Chain A
Amino acid sequence: MTVTVLLFASYAEAVGRSSISIEMETGATVRDVIDEVRRIGNSTRLPPAPMVAVNEQYASRDRELRQGDEVALIPPVAGG
């Protein structure tokens, strides 16, 4: 299945991209996607357990993903 990963702010800089489309096996979780992005990005600047949103809602790293899900890695937010 294909999932889209969105990266923002410092994480986008760390990986050098703001969006990545990746192929994952059925049953893959958010945690698996994070590991894959860290491998692709070859980046130690991306933490192993960032905050995550799936389809625009905060989600846990155990969340099982489906085809077409949009997974966003959320750096510490700093609005206001």
Chain B
Amino acid sequence: MYCAIVDHPIDVTAIVERVSRPANGATVLFLGNVREVNEGRSVSGIEYTGYRSMAERELASIVEEAAALGDTNDVAVEHRLGELCVGECSVAIAVGHPHRGRAFETARYVIEELKRRVPIWKREHYIDGTREWVSATTQPSEQLADIGDER
């Protein structure tokens, strides 16, 4: 298992190599990239910031949960912070497993939980020179507070 918050471009090949083993008949790689249009506005780039120490901790928890769920230790995740251009990779998730079903499920779990729980924010920069913090589409705040109480 591996996870990191990084300030440099993500080396996708290196992430895949971390989960590659002869036992794994399947490797799933998910990449999140900066999209050129969001809600009808032309985007020139995205600035990512985070509560770094907590983001690292939360990401590590998610990777452990995913590994238990998928019954594999071959889970690797990197999330990048800083200023990214359109097309650049902000997050890479690789999962290796003997079979594809579990590999897909495990990768899906990581990205969905990451988007729900990891304290990272993005400010979109638009072609017209304006910039705005992006709001999450869903925010189950009470649910997260409950998670906090259970820990």
Q: Please report A residues at the B interface, Cβ cutoff 8 Å.
A: 6, 8-10, 13, 49-54, 56-61, 63, 72, 74-80
Select the residue from B115, B141, B146, B147 with max chain A CB neighbours within 10 A. B141
Select the residue from B122, B144, B147 with max chain A CB neighbours within 10 A. B144
- Closest partner residue, chain B, to A58 (CB atom): B148
B5, chain A: closest CB distance, angstroms = 10
Cβ contacts under 8 Å, B122 to chain A = 78-79
Rounded to whole angstroms, the CA-CA distance of A61 and B90 in the bound complex is: 32
Asked if residues A79 and B115 are in contact (CB atoms below 8 Å), the reply is yes
* B42 at interface by CB-CB < 8 Å: no
Q: In the complex where A51-B144, A77-B118, A79-B91 touch, is A72 in contact with B123 (Cβ < 8 A)?
A: no
Cβ contacts under 8 Å, A53 to chain B = 51, 54, 119, 148
* B50 at interface by CB-CB < 8 Å: yes
Interface contacts (Cβ under 8 Å), in number, total 98
Cβ contacts under 8 Å, A80 to chain B = 32, 79, 90-91, 111, 114-115, 120
Rounded to whole angstroms, the CA-CA distance of A32 and B46 in the bound complex is: 34
Asked if residues A59 and B90 are in contact (CB atoms below 8 Å), the reply is no
- Closest partner residue, chain A, to B124 (CB atom): A78
Cβ contacts under 8 Å, B48 to chain A = 79
Asked if residues A56 and B144 are in contact (CB atoms below 8 Å), the reply is no
Cβ contacts under 8 Å, A74 to chain B = 51, 119
- Closest partner residue, chain A, to B47 (CB atom): A9
* B145 at interface by CB-CB < 8 Å: yes
Cβ contacts under 8 Å, A58 to chain B = 117, 144-145, 147-148, 151
B residues 40-55 in Cβ contact with A at 8 Å: 48-51, 53-55
